[in-house]
Structure 1
Amino acid sequence: MTTRHVRAETRHPPRYRADIGGGTLMLPESRKVASLLLKGLPPGAWQKAIEVENVLQKTSPAGAKRIASLIRARLETMTDDLWLLVRDGDRDIAMQAMFAASIKHSALLGDFIDMVVRERFRGFHDTLPKTSWADYLDICRSRAPEMPVWKDSTAKKLGEHVYRILSEVDVLTDTKSCRLRKMAVRREVKEHLQGHGERYVLRCLEALE
């Protein structure tokens, strides 16, 4: 009798996922989650802070858990040096630090900046039309055929969140006119990314300068 050794197939998650639809940058909540992460809480204490003490001030334990999980997933793509920027930085520094973590966490957000917003600036366009999002999703699907097929309502929601995030970091003046403006990346954020070899995230941010 022979024993067959079957190599397990390694499955990589799709590059483009819908997790950006879970929320925008949510700076007040992100500061609190960064603070909890820096304390190094064990699982039980983490759950108590989120679901019992309701430090995020949500209307239900399930909602608090969902938001905390998303923010934590974003922050854990980076080191605790960046968590400090989120917790203690002024509004611009903290927002840009959270933006950087969100870019690393979501290629759907990062590639939109790197491919679409960059070209709008390069072409001296002063707006970012909402139609750019649908066109971008078509490009994503051609680049990554394994990308999930989303309902139209889901695709629209993802775009709305991305545009709101760009508005939060002042790249868009608002989400109605969608007028573009350059972003001045703060020195503390740029130095963190350079020091930790975050070339992709840095390239995305520099596309906005």
Structure 2
Amino acid sequence: MPGAYGSEIMREGRRYRLSFTVGGLLAPQGRILAALFMADGGFSAGSDAPESELGERVERVRQRAIDGNVLAIRTHAANVRMVREVLKRLSALTERELRYLAAAGTPMDDCRALMWLAMCRYYAIVGEFADEVLRDRYLMGMPTVTRGDYDRFILAKAMWHPELEELSPTTAGKLRSNVFKAMDEAGLVEKTDGTLLPSLLGAPLTAILECRPESFAYFPIREH
């Protein structure tokens, strides 16, 4: 399944991944499945390992998670969908990031930050919104980020990405709602009024992300 796993790298003519219609941040689920990755021996999405190898490892963990219903989801169909979505996002994290996510002593705030990072890397449109709107507004001293800001961002991107224009109003609305739900759950914005909240990344997580400093662009923080 080419292009199914790992960070989304946008090139000319490539269409955005646009399947983040449900689930929000999925931090508790991400932590559970990250532990399964570590039990399986881990992998490094940031290495030069072929995508086929990464895919094989993801599929192996996916089957174990579904068979064991480790997320404790009532119906099989919903379990399959949830496991698939969480694993897609986790495939964008490095092994060191996954290990920290899975560790029992990792603060939940850092787990949520890692799952936001995973969402931004796996879905380039979310990462670009985080960088170009969320963080930029914070750095310019603007106090909020609104759904109107998101709509204007998508409208500008649609000039070069017709797949955004092809979305039905219902799907477009679900995508927008899920981005804002994820930002709320990650502690980046206030749910009620969209007030921006500066990210307070823990020292261990900050040290991990310094290996890939571009990761800080997805958070409302000052220049790192």
TM superposition score category, shorter chain reference: 0.7 to 0.9
What's 1:4 paired with? none
Which of 123, 126, 129 is matched with 1:109 structurally? Answer: 126
Determine helix, strand or coil for the equivalent of 1:20: coil
Which of 99, 114, 120 is matched with 1:97 structurally? Answer: 114
The percent identity for this pair of structures is: 20
CA-to-aligned-CA distance 1:170-198 (integer Å, 9 cap, x gap): 11122x32122211222222322222x35
Q: What letter is aligned with 2:139?
A: R
Label 1:91 to 1:45 Cα distance change in 2 as closer, same or farther (>3 A): closer
Determine helix, strand or coil for the equivalent of 2:21: helix
Label 1:140 to 1:12 Cα distance change in 2 as closer, same or farther (>3 A): closer
Q: What letter is aligned with 1:40?
A: D
Query: Quick check: which has more Rg, 1 or 2?
Result: 1
Label 1:78 to 1:145 Cα distance change in 2 as closer, same or farther (>3 A): same
Label 1:73 to 1:182 Cα distance change in 2 as closer, same or farther (>3 A): same
What's 1:85 paired with? 100
* Gapped regions of structure 2 (runs ≥ 5): 1-11, 42-56
Label 1:116 to 1:84 Cα distance change in 2 as closer, same or farther (>3 A): same
Label 1:17 to 1:87 Cα distance change in 2 as closer, same or farther (>3 A): same
User: TM-score under structure 1 normalisation?
Assistant: 0.81
Offset at 1:125?
A: 2.2
RMSD of aligned C-alpha atoms? 2.4
Q: What letter is aligned with 1:85?
A: Y
Q: How many pairs align?
A: 194
* Gapped regions of structure 1 (runs ≥ 5): 1-10
Alignment of structure 1 residues 9-88 onto 2, 5 Å: 13-14=14-15, 16-40=16-40, 46-47=62-63, 49-88=64-103
Q: Is the 8 A contact 1:171 1:208 kept in 2?
A: no
Q: Is the 8 A contact 1:96 1:169 kept in 2?
A: yes
Offset at 1:80?
A: 1.8
